[in-house]
Chains A and B, each alone.
Chain A
């Protein structure tokens, strides 16, 4: 498997957690994985980007036009990070309005669950249901259980499931 993924958002949206969940799925499959993350000043509400490369890679960074999948948690980042995506790459966007890519109001879904920060896992579920990522839902669920602090596991799994279900509604 070779897969290059970008996760784009702003500090405080849980971009790092989503990155770790995806990387953990690869580790659980015994597939090599590399990520690059944004830490430091930008985490204070600024634009942050994670890149994830699954497979036999040596560098964690994604070159322009090479990402297979883009998970965009903050729509305003599209002009900043869209150039990383392949022309035929899969684009999943957390947004209310229409526009490029497959869209879901992940923040709205998460808000209904009690916390807008859960939009990260709603978007992951949405991406899976659209077969944008080559993972099974059970694998992601396991990774979430491994990484989330105990008292948040249930809430996180619910957010992930909401993303899966939301896609199902949209498809029907």
Chain B
């Protein structure tokens, strides 16, 4: 069998294609993004027609895929764990109504978290929603689960969740590949209002049916926990793990020369948990160690009196269960010599906006104009505006506009309202900013909304945004202009400016502030427009200078600290500033920052 080196997300994408998936819809978000990206890359292998879309948000992605399933075709939707919150409404109802063609929802969790606003556990979400959830322990296993998940979904007409975690998504492994199946299905929607439009009158029955299906799913032979028997050296004790933690545990047992000495169970489907498994564990073992990320989902369902897990103090309840953490826990459970305390965790260098990033100069101007302003911001690269002191709140997709409105209402009651400058990226604006903007205008909020338009979804690697007029496969579509949307939302002040033109940009900020304070004024929008420098064509099309620091530098650190460009640092003696020519892109935006005009540029020869 042919093996290819693949990231977990690519392996899942390959699994989707091989299983005959015909609609794949997603909104990008770390650690899930590369799944749809890889579906795009592998699309040439598909033998059935395949529609791929970067949807405007996760709720929309879910609903598009769902209706595709109603026609009998196999569909998939992909999101990160907090994306499931956005898609929660259709997701919850889908449990009751079910699906027709196989539907797999890939939800990537981020224990740690590494790149998320929380470390919620989608398996617990699935328990709440009553949706079967699969927990792979490696990229290869994640791929092998995809086809079987479609089969399970079609057998019971249920949406099935595949939950990889960051360490699966972003791990690479040799993965066996095979040719895609050809299902040759024709769209065939069978009208059934008692199901697809079920009113409350039909829901108790649908709920009962769901519970019956879940009981059967829990006993499906393919999805029973897998036991690796031990020699009896640790009688009436067992280890239970799921997801990547199972992999960590197996390596650790191997390294400690304990492989095969104790019963180990790998849980493949944490919900619904097999009743036979629950019975076995309760009957055959006095003490069990349960290792799972991030919430005690298996532990809750087992309700074993001798359980050692997150319900007590034995297993950390937060953060990643790294091999070092598991070593500590396992040693305590089995009475082994405790390992040395792992070195205190150090975080290393913080991330920064890239050299030349248009967001940096926009943030610097905002902070210059309104040193006492309140700055709600949002999810994306521009979260890093906090390094410049120009981001005060970051919450969830689109929240900045509504939070800005809330700040306004609270301050207005007391009289003086400070300048409120909201920053939101273009992709985030489309995702969840528009309803919030309408609400703010209707509620007579006076604040400045700066839409940071870099013409891409930068943080996740450059997915297309609706105003670019591009589809997932690179073909063209109708572009949706941000300006027209803003005007349609009833905004009375709208300007567009390249933040590289710093003086003009700051003038417009001040005009916008005046508009929010004048009698017939209101909410002001400034679109900060300059392409993302991760896009090579942006780099090559803009002027690039040789930027240096001359002997006028007084070592005040303003450029290093307040502008915070990674290409600016103090020299090795820490006395004057220096330009790191390896990282400088020659945008020249730092020149205006220097109080003594020590940063100079010359045209590159």
Inter-chain CA distance A76–B351, complex, in Å, is 14
From A20, A26, A77, contact of B349 by CB (8 A): A77
Between A33, A40, A62, the greatest number of chain B beta carbons within 10 A of the residue's beta carbon is seen for A40
- A20 near B248 (CB under 8 angstroms)? no
Q: How far is the CA of A79 from the CA of B344 in the complex (A)?
A: 10
Q: In this assembly, does B416 line the interface, its C-beta being within 8 Å of a C-beta of chain A?
A: no
Shortest Cβ distance from A42 into B: residue: B351
CA distance in complex: A65, B250 (Å): 18
Is B138 in contact with A45, judged by CB distance below 8 angstroms?
no
| Known interface pairs A40-B459, A79-B346; A20-B582 also in contact (CB < 8 Å) | no
Instruction: Determine whether the beta carbon of B173 is less than 8 Å from that of A33.
Output: yes
Residues in chain A near residue B582, CB distance under 8 A: 107, 111, 116
Interface size on B, residues (CB 8 A): 51
**Of the residues B250, B323, B348, B352, contact of A80 by C-beta under 8 Å:** B348
Q: Which residues of B contact A59 (CB under 8 A)?
A: 167, 244, 247-248, 250-251, 323
Give the docked Cα–Cα distance between A57 and B353 (Å): 37
Q: CA of A8 to CA of B583 in the docked complex: distance in angstroms?
A: 18
CB distance from A70 to the nearest CB of B (A): 14
Q: A59-B244, A59-B250, A59-B323 are in contact. Are A46 and B349 (CB under 8 A)?
A: yes
Question: A45-B354, A59-B250 known; A32 and B348 CB under 8 Å?
Answer: no
Whole-angstrom distance from the CB of A42 to the nearest CB of chain B? 5
B319-353 vs A, CB cutoff 8 Å, 1 = contact: the mask equals 00011100100000000000010110011111111
Bound: A10/B137 CA distance, A: 28
CB neighbours (8 Å) of B460 from chain A are 40
Q: How many A-B residue pairs have CB under 8 A?
A: 135
Fill in one digit per residue for A73-105: 1 if any B CB lies within 8 Å of its CB, else 0: 010110111010000000000000000000000
Does any Cβ of A come within 8 Å of B246's Cβ?
A: yes
Judge if A35 is at the interface, Cβ distance under 8 Å: yes
Q: Does residue B115 face the partner (Cβ distance < 8 Å to A)?
A: yes
Judge if A120 is at the interface, Cβ distance under 8 Å: no
Residue from B30, B114, B353, B582 with most neighbouring chain A CB atoms (10 Å): B582
Q: Is the CB of B170 within 8 A of A58?
A: no
Determine the distance from Cα of A47 to Cα of B254 in the docked complex, in whole angstroms: 30
Q: Is the CB of B346 within 8 A of A80?
A: yes
* CB atoms of B251 and A42 under 8 A apart: no
Secondary structure of the A contact surface, majority rule:
mixed
Q: List the B residue with the shortest CB-CB distance to A82.
A: B343
Partner of A27, one of B5, B246, B322, B327: B5
A24 at the interface (CB under 8 A from B): yes
Q: Which residues of chain B are near A65, meaning CB under 8 Å?
A: 340
A43 interface residue (CB < 8 Å to B): yes
- B72 in the interface, Cβ–Cβ < 8 Å? no
B33's nearest neighbour on chain A, judged by CB, is A39
Given contact pairs A12-B583, A64-B342, a sample of 13 additional A-B residue pairs in the complex whose CB atoms are under 8 Å apart: A20-B5, A33-B172, A40-B115, A46-B352, A47-B349, A57-B251, A59-B167, A60-B167, A60-B171, A63-B251, A64-B324, A80-B346, A116-B582
A-B contacts, 12 of them at CB < 8 A, read A10-B349, A23-B172, A33-B173, A39-B115, A42-B115, A44-B351, A46-B352, A58-B251, A60-B172, A66-B255, A79-B346, A80-B346
Residues of chain A whose beta carbon lies under 8 Å from any beta carbon of chain B: 10-12, 19-20, 23-24, 26-27, 32-47, 53, 57-66, 74, 76-77, 79-81, 83, 107, 111, 116
**B→A interface (CB under 8 Å):** 3-5, 7, 30-31, 34, 114-115, 137-138, 167, 169-174, 244, 246-248, 250-252, 254-255, 322-324, 327, 340, 342-343, 346-354, 381, 383-384, 459-460, 566, 582-583
What are the 8 tightest A-B residue pairs by CB atom distance, in nearest-first order?
A: A47-B348, A40-B115, A46-B351, A40-B30, A59-B247, A116-B582, A83-B343, A58-B247
